[in-house]
Structure 1
Amino acid sequence: MKKKVFDDYDYERVYNQSFNELTGELLNEVVKPLRGVAYTTATIKAGNQLEVEIYPSFKKEIPEMIKRFKQKKRRESSEKQKNLNDRNAKKKMMRLVHENFYTGDYWCTFTFKDEPKDLETTEKLCHNFFRRINRARKKKGLENAKYVYVIEEGTAGTERFHLHLIMDNGLTKAEVESKWKIGACTLRTLNYYKDENFIGVCKYMMKDEQTYQPTAARMKGKRRWGSSKGNLVMPKPTKNRTKMSRRKVMDLVLNQDSISEKLEREYPMYHFKEVEIRYSEFNGLFYIYARMQSKKLRRRESKCTTRT
């Protein structure tokens, strides 16, 4: 009978301490790891992007350490929880954008000639715009638009509503601009391989609250996120519980100068881009997050999209 492996837990919350190589050497020497510990490797393929998450798994039911973390959850500082939420939200958006959009799609910013009085009015105007876009696409025999958007207010001195939007390119730029009708618009073309344009756009849309700093009270410090319904795919992780031994993980942790070479050897169809390593002070185990980029140019498949 196959032994059950426990790796379905909130590992990003558990392994939340910043890391340096001295920390790794110290933990490797003085911390005795729990028995029955292995490492799970989760890979998330989203378009041209491959994310690799390596984190501890256990051979028995929830370890006491994780039980303590569940109890501690209520006591964690709001700042620490906010940082974790922000990190997870950024990952979610990057996966969604990389999976569903391509080089040649649009990155748009729309402003309002007549400032909406509140967020509800702004949302209504934006959704009316999306409906006009879809009507225009239908006339051309196209499926409804794929898009991800955020409504926000400007920073100090520019406290006006505006819309940021990533959208597929079924319509021309001129056609998209003609459907806005209620203000100015700026449309740019996304290019995955030019200065990591996709990453830059996602980071801009997901900029943290300290950068955002809305000064008007209409959004109460929040931005309003949304996406098209029913036509976006969220990538799911694939798990491998034998790929990375504890020895391999410690080699990655303690020899970061060669980590890009080692990961590219493990995933030969991808270029290494970045890595983040964190650990838990309770058990001396590690969490590794790496992002890689496909060597193969990704293109949208041509297919008939006529609506019936």
Structure 2
Amino acid sequence: MRSFIREKKIYCGDRYREVDIFSYTDTQKLSSGRGKRSKKVRESEPKQKNLNDKNARRYFIQTANLNFGSDPEALHVTATYSAKYLPDTVEEAEREITNYLRRVQYRRQKDGLPPLKYMLVTAYTTKRNSEKPVRIHHHIIMSGGLERDVVEELWRKRKRKGQKKGDRIGFCNADRLQSDENGIAALCNYLVKQSGGKKRWTSSHNLERPYSRTNDGKYNHRQIEKWARERPGREFWEKKYPGWTPTDEDYGIQYEYNDFTGWSIYLKLRKKE
């Protein structure tokens, strides 16, 4: 079966993109129905939004960079539970955080702000020989506009009769997204690589989605094998993709070998200033 090298560019906004360079067969090409160079197509959203899954992690990072990487007012919110209100199940926790996001959206609407955009990660661990979740907490990347104090204050139960405010559900902290030269890659990697535990994510329906374009004639097997042996650095890839540079020497340039398909190269690029 004849194979060739496909380059796939994944567009994630003005400051961040990824490039996959991998082996592709004639059969795959025919089934995809694409020519030598394709038009932009929307990336498929993973069915399992579990950040312990490689494809879900990758899509999460791409989507977060696209929607929040260039937003100077975007927030990273961490919400935990006090012992009194600790949920018994992950589903109960997700209902609680969903109600919180509705309160945030209501406040934004009241203040005349655009609809809320968010990506929510629910993280937890389980005890040995038990499915009962422990240490449940949430991380939310959300669009800015509200004051951080307001966002934190909304992490409360509905007030009961005689109360001026509802009980605090737990600790809540809202910080500006700390973007650096690589956008919000550091935060994304933290969220998907927290030690141990399980992580599920959801998002609002109004997010932009990453797009991709393929090119089947740019590289060949001999080039890919040569680069896999020599491991060229940043300057080499800057010449291949003018105006862009790998996010760093380790995370931004990855070489992988498969007995069936051979070598593949995965690049994570940021816009050069």
TM-score (norm 1): 0.66
Q: Which residue of 2 aligns with 1:271?
A: 245
CA deviation map 1:74-116 (0-9, x unaligned)? xxxxxxxxxx972212111100100011343111111123222
Pairing 1:48-197 to 2, within 5 Å after superposition: 48-58=15-25, 60-61=26-27, 86-101=53-68, 102-113=71-82, 114-153=85-124, 159-181=134-156, 182-193=169-180, 196=182
> How many angstroms apart in 2 are the aligned matches of 1:243 and 1:110?
47
> How many angstroms apart in 2 are the aligned matches of 1:185 and 1:295?
35
1:40 has 2:14 as partner: no
1:280 has 2:246 as partner: no
Q: Which runs of 4+ in 1 moved over 6 A?
A: none
> How many angstroms apart in 1 are the aligned matches of 2:184 and 2:142?
12
CA deviation map 1:122-156 (0-9, x unaligned)? 22211111111111111122222111112223588
Q: Which residue of 2 aligns with 1:290?
A: 267
SS at match of 2:105: helix
1:203 has 2:178 as partner: no
SS at match of 2:190: helix
Higher strand share: 2
| 1:197 Cα deviation from its structure 2 partner | 6.5
Structure 1 residues without counterparts, runs of 5 or longer: 1-33, 64-83, 214-221, 297-308
Q: Over aligned residues, Cα RMSD in angstroms?
A: 2.5
> How many angstroms apart in 2 are the aligned matches of 1:100 and 1:62?
31
Aligned residues: 226
Q: Which residue of 2 aligns with 1:25?
A: none
CA deviation map 1:244-276 (0-9, x unaligned)? 2333323322221x3422211011111222211
Which of 224, 227, 235 in structure 1 is aligned with 2:203? Answer: 227
> How many angstroms apart in 2 are the aligned matches of 1:246 and 1:151?
42
> How many angstroms apart in 2 are the aligned matches of 1:290 and 1:223?
25
Instruction: Tell me if the contact between 1:155 and 1:212 (Cα under 8 Å) persists in the aligned partners.
Output: no
1:236 has 2:211 as partner: yes
> How many angstroms apart in 1 are the aligned matches of 2:52 and 2:122?
19
Q: Which residue of 1 aligns with 2:46?
A: none
Aligned-residue sequence identity (percent) comes to 29
> How many angstroms apart in 2 are the aligned matches of 1:112 and 1:124?
13
| 1:173 Cα deviation from its structure 2 partner | 0.6
> How many angstroms apart in 1 are the aligned matches of 2:27 and 2:200?
39
SS at match of 2:104: helix
Higher helix share: 1
> How many angstroms apart in 2 are the aligned matches of 1:85 and 1:263?
30
TM-score (norm 2): 0.74
Which residue identity does 1:135 align to in structure 2?
Y
Instruction: Tell me if the contact between 2:52 and 2:199 (Cα under 8 Å) persists in the aligned partners.
Output: no
> How many angstroms apart in 2 are the aligned matches of 1:159 and 1:282?
41
Quickly say closer, same or farther: Cα 1:57–1:117, change in 2 above 3 A: closer
Instruction: Tell me if the contact between 2:192 and 2:199 (Cα under 8 Å) persists in the aligned partners.
Output: no
SS at match of 1:205: helix
> How many angstroms apart in 2 are the aligned matches of 1:259 and 1:173?
41
> How many angstroms apart in 2 are the aligned matches of 1:94 and 1:237?
15
> How many angstroms apart in 1 are the aligned matches of 2:215 and 2:144?
36
Quickly say closer, same or farther: Cα 1:62–1:130, change in 2 above 3 A: closer
Q: Which residue of 2 aligns with 1:246?
A: 221
Structure 2 residues without counterparts, runs of 5 or longer: 30-50, 128-132, 157-168
